[in-house]
Amino acid sequence: MTEPGFLDIISFGADGWGPALAAGAWMTILIAIAGFVIGGVIGTFGAWAKISGGPIVRRCAETYTTVLRGIPDLLVIYLFYFGGSAVVTAIGQLFGAEGFVSFPGFIAGALAVGITSGAQQTEVYRGAFRAVHPGELEAATACGMGRLLKFRRITAPLTLRYALPGLGNVWQVVLKESALVSVTGVVELLRQAQIGAGSTSRPFDFFFIAAMIYLAISTVSGLVLQATERRFSRGVRRG
């Protein structure tokens, strides 16, 4: 057998790893999106808790963001992966199942990434809300808008506009964090590269390709974000 070249590895041909790597990249994007959305929901509630919650709620949100920003993400992934399995096994035994039941890695990974990014998004939304001019909220109240209407028409769109640059950063972090989900056995981009490296003994080629794909995804999403930012700040005069 001849040694496969670099181009053979990335090709979509018979011996190529192209389709596998593309599927891995797709899985990476799915994990990142799931984690980002979960983090967005948590972040919204977290910011609400910090801005207008009572002392206890606020303290809870404070503890959550401090803890999640102070411990490694890998540890959180282990917690959800092994912890989830322990819970599922316990439930399984309750219903008479035998032995160890493993928790789906995708859900564990998405939850772990979501909870870490939720802590970052809490701070992003909180900061963005502070940038909303109080006069605008006052004007809305003066116009007779109710709480919900005011939130939907004034607070949410303005906060989102100010939050976009920060959310862009969080997205990039989430994308890179999704690589850690490979430790749970989910076949995303990095895991696929590991598999390829193992079966062809060309680790450098595979990890290099993986790095380039990550770079491509983050560059493209960076461009999309820039366009979104421009769209959301129509009507804002610049410099």
Partner 1 sequence: MDIKFALETFWSLLAALPLTLELAATSIALGSVLALGLALARLSGILALDLFARTYVFLFRGTPLLVQIFLIYYGLSQFPAVRHSIFWPLLREPYWCAVLALMLNTAAYASEIIRGGLISVPHGQVEAARACGMGRFMIFRRIVMPQALRQALPGYGNEMISMVKATSLASIITLMEITGVAAKLISESYRVIEVFVVAGFIYLAINFALTRLVAFAEHRLNPQLRAPLAISAQLKGEAH
Give the residues lining the site for partner 1 (CB under 8 A). 66-67, 69-75, 78-79, 82-83, 86, 172, 175-180, 182-183, 190, 193-194, 197, 201-205, 207-208, 210-211, 214-215, 218-219
Question: Minimum distance from CB of 83 to partner 1 (Å)?
Answer: 4
- Residue whose token pair is 């018979």: 14
From 58, 194, 46, select the one nearest 121 (Cα to Cα): 46
Residue 200 Cβ vs partner 1, minimum distance, rounded to whole Å: 10
Q: Which is nearer to partner 1, 157 or 203 (CB)?
A: 203
The DSSP code for 183 is G
Task: Please say which residue, 11 or 194, places its beta carbon nearer to partner 1.
Answer: 194
- Measured between its terminal Cα atoms, the distance across the chain in Å is 63
The least CB distance from residue 111 to partner 1, in Å, is: 14
Cβ 128 to partner 1 shortest distance, Å: 19
DSSP state of 184: G
154 or 180, CB closer to partner 1?
180
Q: Which long-range contacts (CB under 8 A, 24 or more apart) does 192-200 make?
A: 192/17, 192/20, 192/21, 192/23, 192/24, 193/21, 193/24, 195/20, 196/9, 196/17, 196/20, 196/21, 200/4, 200/9
Measured from the CB of residue 27, what is the shortest distance to partner 1 in angstroms? 14
- Looking at the Cβ atoms of 69 and 152, the one nearer to partner 1 is 69
Least distance (Å) from partner 1 to the CB of residue 187?
A: 15
Whether the CB-CB separation of 122 and 38 falls below 8 Å is answered with no
- Judged by DSSP in three states, 133 sits in coil
For partner 1, the closer of residues 20 and 140 by Cβ is 20
The tokens of 201 are what?
């003994």
Q: How far is residue 110's CA from residue 127's CA, in Å, rounded to a whole number? A: 25
In the complex with partner 1, which residue's Cβ is closer, 87 or 143?
87
Q: How far is CA 109 from the centre of its chain?
A: 10
